[in-house]
């Protein structure tokens, strides 16, 4: 799979997860943080994070075929994922073990994939 197609797959996943958080913040949030996701105040953050991810995923889809900007968008979204990973890691002992680990794995994996795709997109842009 070439970097553009991989970036599109990553973008669609981000949009799907983000949309789930906007539409069903308690359910989507519970998959990562457990019972705290049922609190009304927590749904505000779940929806805000979800909206961010829908927007970022949309921009990734929009720019995937544009080598002059795709690497920067991929790096920016990867940075967001790295922050999500670090934020969860800072409170990992307070998160449900399996759910917290799953959320961290998704965020960390997306960060690594995004940075790798950014680098690959940069390489293909400079060689093409």
Side-chain-side CA neighbours of 118 within 13 Å: the count stands at 17
pTM for this structure?
0.89
44-61 confidence digits (pLDDT tens): 999 999 999 999 999 999
Cβ-proximal residues to 29 (8 Å cutoff; 6+ apart), any chain: 21, 36, 37, 42, 43, 46
58-89 confidence digits (pLDDT tens): 999 999 989 899 999 999 999 999 999 999 99
């Amino acid at each position: 799979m070439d970097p553009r197609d991989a970036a599109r797959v990553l973008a669609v996943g981000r949009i799907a997860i983000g949309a789930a958080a906007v539409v069903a913040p308690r359910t989507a949030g519970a998959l990562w943080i457990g019972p705290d996701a049922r609190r009304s105040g927590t749904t505000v953050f779940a929806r805000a994070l979800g909206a961010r991810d829908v927007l970022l995923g949309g921009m990734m889809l929009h720019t995937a075929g544009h080598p002059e900007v795709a690497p920067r968008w991929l790096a920016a979204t990867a940075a967001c994922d790295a922050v999500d990973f670090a934020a969860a890691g800072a409170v990992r002992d307070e998160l449900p073990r399996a759910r917290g680990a799953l959320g961290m794995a998704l965020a960390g994996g997306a960060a690594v994939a995004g940075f790798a795709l950014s680098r690959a997109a940069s390489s293909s842009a400079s060689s093409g």
